[in-house]
Amino acid sequence: MRIRPERLRRGDVVGIVAPSSPPNQESLKRSLAFLEQLGLKVKFGKHVNDVYGYLAGSDEDRMNDLQDMFADPEVKGIICAGGGYGSARYTDRLDFQLIRENPKVFWGFSDITFLHTGIGLYADVVTFHGPMLASCVGKDSFHPLSAKMFQQLFEPMELHYTEEISPLAAIHKGEAQGELVGGNLSLLSNTIGTKFEIDTTGKLLFIEDIGEEPYRVDGMLNQLRMAGKLADAAGIVVGDFADAEPKKEKPSLSLDEVFQHYLGGLGKPVVKGFKIGHCEPHFAIPLGTLAKLDADARTLTILPGVE
């Protein structure tokens, strides 16, 4: 199993970075009150305010901000301001040995999936798929359950997802356990054929996305299928697919029909409906810890992500 970072404590300093697109600065400012409530102090990356087209500064600057936070002994955890696009542009130049030697809480999702996957493969450290500051925490829609999920950073806790949180449906029955991996489907499909190709062998694969019509989800799942990633997985956890409705002016399969086609005949447990992804509430999860998916009981149990 991967290295679990040390838990956060009240009074700790957390680093705030923008590894991808420029975060909304007003929303980022509003999110700081929440971190203060958690008892955390903040240290901003040098380039969190930078704007370079659709990127939060140059690749070099964004990469250095991230690496500086891992190298800084004062910083105990790293929380992403937002996602968007761009983390994959420099992931192949990251110093994974530095990250492995300085394991810390690293928290984000969406475009951050590429970094989660790289850190998991080459630094062997547990990371966290959770709501980010400007894009989630600083908004009026930020849900109390989303806020509660940050508590897993302060004490090792087993997470239990049941239908008390949201309705769940089994696409295929059964039970499986394994290391929980995955994230944003678009980014996972982008890893195929690279040195950061997602490893699903014997693992529980989690997928989510936003703004992708059924035919786009179809293409990405087909890519994972042809790369053997669906067959290799022990089970599939289907998170939230927001704004995925087909355009009205053209015929389309439904998203459920796409899921049934690719995931229904795998002969392994597959459950959909988890509020994990671009949604509120957003149930944050550690990636790289052992988890158990019970499609018969429609539950997901995940071991702690911190020491």
Q: What CATH number has the domain bearing residue 120?
A: 3.40.50.10740
CA distance 205 to 272: 12
Residue 103: exposure state from Cβ atoms within 10 A (0-12, 13-18, ≥19): buried
Q: Phi first, then psi: what are they for 299, rounded to 5°?
A: -135, 155
CA 89-91-96 angle, 5° bins = 165
Residue 249: per-residue pLDDT: 79
Q: How far is the CA of 51 from the CAs of 21, 22, 57, 63, 239, in angstroms?
A: 8, 6, 5, 15, 31
Q: Which residues are registered as beta bridge partners of 293?
A: 176, 300
* Inside any domain, residue 142: yes
Residue 248: per-residue pLDDT: 78
Number of domains in the chain: 2
> Would you call 161 helix, strand, or coil by DSSP?
strand
Q: Which residues make Cβ contacts (< 8 Å) with residue 178, sequence separation at least 6? A: 202, 203, 204, 233, 234, 235, 290, 291
* Inside any domain, residue 87: yes
Interior/surface letters 234-245, b for 16+ CB within 10 angstroms, e for the rest: bbbbbbbbeebe
Residue 22: per-residue pLDDT: 98
Determine which helix (DSSP H) or strand (DSSP E) holds 35, and give its type and residue range: helix 25-37
Residue 295: per-residue pLDDT: 98
Same domain? 122 vs 178 = no
Q: Which residues make Cβ contacts (< 8 Å) with residue 250, sequence separation at least 6? A: none
- The residues annotated with a catalytic role in the active site are 110, 208, 278
Same domain? 125 vs 169 = no
Residue 130: per-residue pLDDT: 98
Q: Helices 214-226 and 255-263 sit at what angle, rounded to 10 degrees? A: 10
Q: Which residues are registered as beta bridge partners of 146?
A: none
* Inside any domain, residue 88: yes
Q: Which residues of the chain are modeled with pLDDT < 70?
A: none
For 166: left if phi > 0, alpha if psi spans -120 to 50, otherwise beta; the answer is: beta
Residue 90: per-residue pLDDT: 98
Domain boundary among 153, 172, 197: 153
Q: Where are the beta strands (DSSP E) in the chain?
A: 13-17, 41-44, 75-80, 105-108, 127-129, 159-161, 169-172, 175-184, 204-210, 235-242, 270-272, 285-287, 290-294, 299-302
Is the C-alpha dihedral spanning 110, 132, 130, 91 positive or negative? Answer: positive
Same domain? 17 vs 139 = yes
Same domain? 176 vs 295 = yes
Same domain? 174 vs 275 = yes
